[in-house]
Amino acid sequence: MSVMTGGNRVSGGERGSGRRAELLSIAAEMFAVRGVAATTVREIADEAGILSGSLYHHFESKEAMVDEILRGYLSAQLERFRRVVEAGYEPYTTVGELIHESFAALHRHRWAMAILHNEAGRLAEFDRFGYIESANREFERIWVRVLRQGQRNGVFRAGLSPRLAHRFIRDSVSASVRWYNPSGRMSVRGIAEQYTRIFRDGMVAPGGE
Amino acid sequence: MSVMTGGNRVSGGERGSGRRAELLSIAAEMFAVRGVAATTVREIADEAGILSGSLYHHFESKEAMVDEILRGYLSAQLERFRRVVEAGYEPYTTVGELIHESFAALHRHRWAMAILHNEAGRLAEFDRFGYIESANREFERIWVRVLRQGQRNGVFRAGLSPRLAHRFIRDSVSASVRWYNPSGRMSVRGIAEQYTRIFRDGMVAPGGE
Amino acid sequence: MSVMTGGNRVSGGERGSGRRAELLSIAAEMFAVRGVAATTVREIADEAGILSGSLYHHFESKEAMVDEILRGYLSAQLERFRRVVEAGYEPYTTVGELIHESFAALHRHRWAMAILHNEAGRLAEFDRFGYIESANREFERIWVRVLRQGQRNGVFRAGLSPRLAHRFIRDSVSASVRWYNPSGRMSVRGIAEQYTRIFRDGMVAPGGE
Amino acid sequence: MSVMTGGNRVSGGERGSGRRAELLSIAAEMFAVRGVAATTVREIADEAGILSGSLYHHFESKEAMVDEILRGYLSAQLERFRRVVEAGYEPYTTVGELIHESFAALHRHRWAMAILHNEAGRLAEFDRFGYIESANREFERIWVRVLRQGQRNGVFRAGLSPRLAHRFIRDSVSASVRWYNPSGRMSVRGIAEQYTRIFRDGMVAPGGE
DNA sequence: AATGAATGAGTCTTCATTCAT
DNA sequence: GATGAATGAAGACTCATTCAT
């Protein structure tokens, strides 16, 4: 068990608040597209059709909005990763599943992923966002365990650093949020498959080199 | 010929004034570490031991500083990529060389790389920074050409999208600027080798699966 | 007769609604402790367990709450002062009684006294609170009359300005609201006695100087 | 020795800055007259003939302005109190001198005194203003020592609490800042003398009661 | 080359108050 | 009597930039 288990509780407890979720969704997209700092509270409010001060009826601060957005994504995604691991597949399969789950988030939590990818470094310095680092460590633990197990089994090439390999795939996947176009011709599933093949099997054709 | 041929005042750095280069180097690190928007002109000046107003004797604007930093990196790096291609190696070798060149920039242009990785999206919207997109397209052209050639030769696995593969490796490499620690135990060369093996040969051991 | 005869909704507190008095009491303490301006309507409401908007079912405005609190204290206290005077004691005794009455208010109207001491200057500028000045003038009239009478009788030292003496004691007493601690070991009665002795008889011991 | 000894160093070290002092003086009067919270940064700037943002070229924050104003007064006044004590007069005389020094500050530090009298309670809660409490404790120590010594000598009446007596005179003096009018007919010296007589000798005429 | 003072537009945030439900 | 959403005006503070000296 670890940090992000409670997950996504909305201050004041989840109460009704279609409005709250609506505002959050507007904000998430803007934060992702323009950047958190570059998105003004007024712009969010404008987009929502209210005055900027009114946002503070729903959220304590701009920071609190970011917080809520990120917590939601991280806790849900950790949950999914854990479930994959608990399913007990072979490492070879697990790696594929993890990559698929990562890309699946591109649908469900697109903006949160983008925000995280773009601003994690800056945010992580604030105590408030300490959970980001914790979550990242947990993700790493999961990946490294699987890769290492695969190496022990002889399925994965020895001599490669599992931590480095994890970073390799993690960075690729998370950066994809910048260019992925949901209405483009490449489906998330398609991208995930290609990435899995490259990562797991390499560019080189069997007997190719 | 292409975009980034002119400029390059930084690394080339004629234009008298070691002072200028010094200021630019201070700014580059700060832009990279804190973000361009989050770095104030005053902070740069403080770090340089002058008053913020005095910076305007050297540069037209904050934007101009960013511009100068990025141009320097992009033109130099494009130059290196072109040289690799012109050397006329086999695609298998060329891929390794490109990855090595990419990581080598981690030494020479660390801050510029970081700035570009972090803010390219935002900056590219301004006309002034149109050359960023141009340079990126040129990088892509080079990569895609090599990968496609390798596929035709049968060295690289068919059925993989070269553009996607390019993004895969590009994003991984460029994100590494965020965690790479020049004084850590992993050398740039070591990382480049591991990344090359994963990308080219995959995680799976020969006969592994 | 003078100013503060009407009003007094608070202590008298007909007007149905224990709720009203309860809210007023909550507000009074907060106004006294944090300052009127620094106490937000929302904080009062929070403390009362309702939403800020709901306060407006009971009071017209925040100002109206302050008004009601102060009127209650001033009219009651003026009444008591008048009664002391009407009792027709010697000036020497009357002074003691007035000081005692002043300190007695520390029990009954602690928060109102504090508010008045802290904010009278600011409030008095508003027409609405004109009665504060009127009440203060009435208090002064009473004090000055007694002191002057004592000087004529030869009981009180000549050559002292009654108005100045009044300010002296008034300011001391009213400032005591800031440090008086109802659960401390010094009783209100004890403080009043000491103050009376200092004011009436001075620090110097008989034959001391 | 105690807290407020360094005294009044202007951030950046006292450098020139007639402007700084000028702005501070404008602010001090406004803070005193309208209250710190009720005085807006813009009003101060307007009065100074600059834009509100420009104030931040000179001071870090509104709070910093208050801080500088109060430190200046407290350190100077403590110094004067210490000098009175070190002069080694009889307690009877010392009391008179302390009262005179207190009123003398009404000329030199009128606004600081007013701010302190009005807002000390609120300010003291902030760490930044911890020195206010320290200074107040030091003032009290000085007063209590003198009064107690006088009681031991038999000059001052026994049975009176020195701490209470200190509060009595302190509160009177400091509240006088609210009604003292420099252009009125009562001189500071005159008020000080009357207060000294009341406090030391009492209202009652010798053989009066 | 640099200082020091100032600008002006903009940022997040606060808060008394209103009002339909 | 109360809720919950919103208003609108204002407040402290930031910052790239300008410019006379």
- The better pLDDT of the pair A65, D206 is held by A65
CB-strand contact A18/F, under 7 Å: no
Q: Average pLDDT in the A110-124 region?
A: 93
Tokens 């790696």 sit at which residue?
A95
Q: Is the pLDDT at C169 greater than 90, yes or no?
A: yes
- Using only C-alpha atoms, chain B has a radius of gyration, in whole angstroms, of 19
- Round to whole Å and give the CA distance between A121 and A132: 10
Rounded to a whole number of angstroms, the distance from the CA of D106 to the nearest CA of chain C is: 16
pLDDT tens digits, one per residue of D124-133: 889 999 999 9
DSSP state of C156: B
Q: How many angstroms from the chain centroid is the CA of residue B94?
A: 18
Tokens 């009654």 sit at which residue?
C162
Torsion from C-alpha of C34, C40, C41, C43, nearest 10 degrees: -70
Band the pLDDT of C16: cuts 50, 70, 90: low
Q: Which residue of B has its CA nearest to A169?
A: B172
* Nearest by Cα to A123 from A55, A62, A67, A59: A67
> In the prediction, which pLDDT does B207 show?
62
pLDDT tens digits, one per residue of A24-72: 999 999 999 999 999 999 999 999 999 999 999 999 999 999 999 999 9
> In the prediction, which pLDDT does A1 show?
33
Exposure of C55 in the CB half-sphere (CA atoms within 13 A): 24
Q: Do D171 and C176 touch (CB under 8 A)?
A: yes
φ, ψ of residue A156 to 5 degrees: the values are -100, 145
Tokens 């409010």 sit at which residue?
A45
Q: Which residue of B has its CA nearest to A115?
A: B118
- Taking a C-beta distance cutoff of 8 angstroms, is the pair D103, D188 a contact? yes
Band the pLDDT of D12: cuts 50, 70, 90: very low
A205 contacts in B (CB within 8 Å)?
154-158
Q: Do C167 and D174 touch (CB under 8 A)?
A: no
Q: How far is CA B28 from CA B31, B44, C171, D16, in A?
A: 5, 9, 62, 35
pLDDT tens digits, one per residue of D72-101: 999 999 999 999 999 999 999 999 999 999
CB-strand contact C51/F, under 7 Å: yes
How many of the other CB atoms lie within 10 Å of CB of C29? 18
Band the pLDDT of D6: cuts 50, 70, 90: very low
- Round to whole Å and give the CA distance between D96 and D195: 9
Question: Taking chain B (209 residues) in consecutive chunks of 10 residues, what is each chunk's mean pLDDT?
Answer: 37 57 95 93 95 95 96 96 96 94 93 93 89 96 95 89 94 94 93 93 69
Q: How far is CA B65 from CA A35, A78, A96, B35, B72, in A?
A: 21, 41, 44, 13, 11
Who among D121, D179, D204 is closest to C201 (CB)? Answer: D204
**Protein residues closer than 7 Å by CB to strand E:** A 39-42, 52-56, 60-63; B 16-17, 19, 50-54, 57-58; C 38-42, 52-53, 56, 61-63; D 15-17, 19, 50-54, 57-58
Tokens in use for D202?
């009492």
- Round to whole Å and give the CA distance between C48 and C28: 12
Tell me the one-letter amino acid at A24.
L
Q: Average pLDDT in the C109-134 region?
A: 93
Q: Is the pLDDT at C5 greater than 70, yes or no?
A: no
- Round to whole Å and give the CA distance between B22 and D84: 58
Q: Which residues pair with C116 in a beta bridge?
A: none
Q: Do chains B and A touch (3 or more CB pairs under 8 A)?
A: yes
pLDDT above 90 as % of chain C: 81
Write out the H or E segment, with its range, that includes residue B100: helix B91-108
- Taking a C-beta distance cutoff of 8 angstroms, is the pair C118, C189 a contact? no
Q: Is the pLDDT at D182 greater than 70, yes or no?
A: yes
Tokens 């992702």 sit at which residue?
A32
Q: Is the pLDDT at C11 greater than 60, yes or no?
A: no
Tokens 């002092």 sit at which residue?
D21
> In the prediction, which pLDDT does B3 show?
39
Tokens 């000294």 sit at which residue?
D196
- Round to whole Å and give the CA distance between B185 and B111: 20
Band the pLDDT of C203: cuts 50, 70, 90: confident
- Taking a C-beta distance cutoff of 8 angstroms, is the pair A101, A195 a contact? no
> In the prediction, which pLDDT does C208 show?
55
pLDDT above 70 as % of chain D: 90
**In the CATH hierarchy, which fold is given to the domain comprising B62-201?**
Tetracycline Repressor; domain 2 (1.10.357)
Rounded to a whole number of angstroms, the distance from the CA of B198 to the nearest CA of chain A is: 6
- Round to whole Å and give the CA distance between D83 and D104: 14
- The better pLDDT of the pair B7, A77 is held by A77
Helix axes A18-34, A41-48, angle to 10 degrees: 130
Q: Is the pLDDT at A209 greater than 60, yes or no?
A: no
- Round to whole Å and give the CA distance between C78 and C99: 13
Q: Is the pLDDT at D180 greater than 70, yes or no?
A: yes
Q: Average pLDDT in the C41-57 region?
A: 95
Q: Do C150 and D34 touch (CB under 8 A)?
A: no
- The better pLDDT of the pair D5, A132 is held by A132
- Round to whole Å and give the CA distance between A151 and A166: 13
Q: Do A203 and B156 touch (CB under 8 A)?
A: yes
